[in-house]
Structure 1
Amino acid sequence: MSDRQQINETFRIPLSVLDVSPIVEGGSVAESLGNTLDLARHAEKWGYNRYWLAEHHNAPSIASSATSIVIGHVAAGTSTIRVGSGGIMLPNHAPLVIAEQFGTLESLFPGRIDLGLGRAPGTDGLTAAALRGSRRSNGHDFPEQLAELRAFLDPSRAEVGMPVRAIPGEGLNIPIWLLGSSDFSAMLAAELGLPFAFAGHFSPNFTIPAMNLYRSNFKPSEVLDKPYGMVAVNIVAADTDEEAGYLATSMQQLFLSFIRNTRGPLPAPVRNMDQLWSEQEKAALQQQLGSSIVGGPETVRGKLKRYMEATQADEIMVAAHIFDHQARLRSYEIVAGL
């Protein structure tokens, strides 16, 4: 039985990977991008469905800011796994540029490219202003930007003739996903009949309401005849619960740095987080990371099964902030083999 069949026998839905090419303390961007390709090759071998990279900026722990380029890097080094964005933050870009970039990727790697779109900046306000320049987009015009992008890919969608064409891009079938961490994109994806991916890895309290909202308001389209929802979740798996708990402290420290606005590279794990956080910070992290699944194989199997049942997701996207690359590989290998 193949790895993919084992996953389907246990959970009945596909598993995928969400990556930000983490930069670790003492590491380099080049090493991070090399590790991303190595993980993608293993994920392909283990039967994961897709491999998505996320756009973030001005983040010392993230090397995937030039997301389209990293997607090309991963797609060129693999052969079958779908590769895409989780996501491209559309307000940071002119829709024509994204149509051309992903048209190029789809032309190079036909049938393997996904275009996941978000409306958040993926960064702080000053960096967003530097990215967007004179356009001053703030995300409120995301539906209009999305319509423009879709019209570049398929001019028949345009209300008037398209004087500018996306070449490459025009006429290509590039699956578009809407990403969200609240209800806005859930409703928009439902209205447009598009697949929807929810950021449950950092917005756990809104996961089930957003997924329910998406399903209950979904309108069939030429893209989908029924809703298709994917949920991202943090999973840190190891051979024992104790080891997984130790590895997960890197993720906890990273999110703690977000709270304190002291961001740096992904920290090495520690044995005792109580020496690092206050009770208030601990409670805040437990709220933000409340859906995270941490443990040995049997613990992860049980928690993941309950998570799938609770969210009714059609697909699970696994995020893993793990300091040691070999331990990160082992985590994804364990999840694939459940």
Structure 2
Amino acid sequence: MKLSVLDQAPIPRGSTPEETLNNTLKLAKSTETLGYTRYWVAEHHNTNGLASTSPEILITRIASQTNTIRIGSGGVLLPQYSPLKVAENFKMLEALFPGRIDLGVGRSPGGAKNTRLALTDSIKKSMTAFPGQLKDLQGFLHNTLPKEHPYRMVKATPRTKTVPPLWVLGLSDRGAANAAKNGTGFTFGHFINPANGLTAMETYREKFQPSPTLDKPQSNVCIFVVCADTHDEAEELALSQDKWLLNVGKGADTKIPSMKEVKKKAFRQDELEEIAKNRKRCVIGTPEEVKAKLEMLSEYYRTDEFLIITNI
């Protein structure tokens, strides 16, 4: 089994974005030493608790501080951007760090309506355009746009010897089908909502079409994990993530709460019920317990790689 990391660069209460991003660099170096496969950074906007707003810039910094681990995005919010510009950014990264860059893209709007309009400079882009954007991105990366395409003669530069593999992040059959049709890798977001995971992964495998990116399906699953020497310690650490997920769900402050803050006030019954639902997105326990659960999920999803996210 391969283990990788998805880092949202969460900011703990009382900390700063600068300290958080420095911690990201330390974590990336540590995971490389431990033999993790890849280290992906997220893209979030207009939130005070997550410091990763520009994956391309953060990828450059992390890749320059590491040597072998793959570095990528999980993921660039493609509906807000030009496929050409995204292709150029990642071909530039590939030129700087050959064979180490992953391009993960998602269909997320990036936030509330005003946030999205600010990202697009008030241009109202339709979310339904994502499949076409994905096809264009693949075309720009590999110089395979069809002859009838209006931008066929526009080339994404620099013209690198290798091209970063393209991954689609998804939560449903729709995302899986987009990945399969375009022959990209597929990342299922178990940490957001595991409900449709099995059908999404089956759809991806069944509908996969070979492409310049991949000749056979390649998938991984992203999941919250809290691991400690004892089960009780893991449960205690997970309380801060429980509280954080409650706050995120309410649209409240997104900074990671301290243990002191979490323990100051008992959870209400409705909050305990919500925590129980959220725990389905997580694996919590000792190394042996976590290993056993991931092995079970590996068989369930038929994947050999998990992206680990831990916001505690």
Distance 1:298 1:228 in 2: 26
Distance 1:23 1:216 in 2: 40
**Corresponding position of 1:45:** 33
Q: Please point out which of 43, 51, 72 is paired with 1:63.
A: 51
**Corresponding position of 2:168:** 178
TM-score normalised to structure 1 length:
0.86
In the TM superposition, residue 138 of structure 1 has moved relative to its aligned partner by: 3.3
Which one is further off, 256-265 or 148-157? 148-157
Q: Is the 8 A contact 1:153 1:171 kept in 2?
A: no
Q: Which consecutive unaligned segments of at least 5 residues does structure 2 have?
A: none
**What are the equivalent positions in structure 2 for 1:82-231 lying under 5 Å apart?**
82-160=70-148, 162-168=152-158, 172-231=162-221
Distance 2:214 2:91 in 1: 21
Structure 1 outlier segments of 4+, above 6 Å: 271-274
Q: Is the 8 A contact 1:153 1:170 kept in 2?
A: no
Distance 1:255 1:220 in 2: 38
Distance 1:309 1:162 in 2: 43
**Corresponding position of 1:310:** 300
Q: Write the deviation string for residues 17-48 of structure 1: whole angstroms up to 9, x where unpaired.
A: 11011111011111111100100000000000
State the AA in 2 paired with 1:194.
Answer: T
**What are the equivalent positions in structure 2 for 1:278-293 lying under 5 Å apart?**
278-293=268-283
TM-score normalised to structure 2 length:
0.93
Aligned residues, how many? 310
Distance 2:74 2:173 in 1: 17
Q: Please point out which of 217, 231, 237 is paired with 1:247.
A: 237
In the TM superposition, residue 273 of structure 1 has moved relative to its aligned partner by: 6.6
Q: Which consecutive unaligned segments of at least 5 residues does structure 1 have?
A: 1-12, 323-338
State the AA in 1 paired with 2:23.
Answer: N
C-alpha spacing 1:291/1:60, structure 2 compared with 1 (3 Å): same
Identity value in percent: 39
Distance 1:94 1:72 in 2: 20
In the TM superposition, residue 167 of structure 1 has moved relative to its aligned partner by: 2.1
In the TM superposition, residue 171 of structure 1 has moved relative to its aligned partner by: 6.4
Partner secondary structure for residue 141 of structure 1 = helix
- Mapped pair 1:28 → 2:9: no
Q: Is the 8 A contact 1:82 1:113 kept in 2?
A: yes
Q: Write the deviation string for residues 281-326 of structure 1: whole angstroms up to 9, x where unpaired.
A: 332332233031111122212222222122211311111112xxxx
Distance 1:156 1:224 in 2: 14
Partner secondary structure for residue 55 of structure 1 = coil
**What is the Cα-based RMSD across aligned positions, in Å?**
2.0
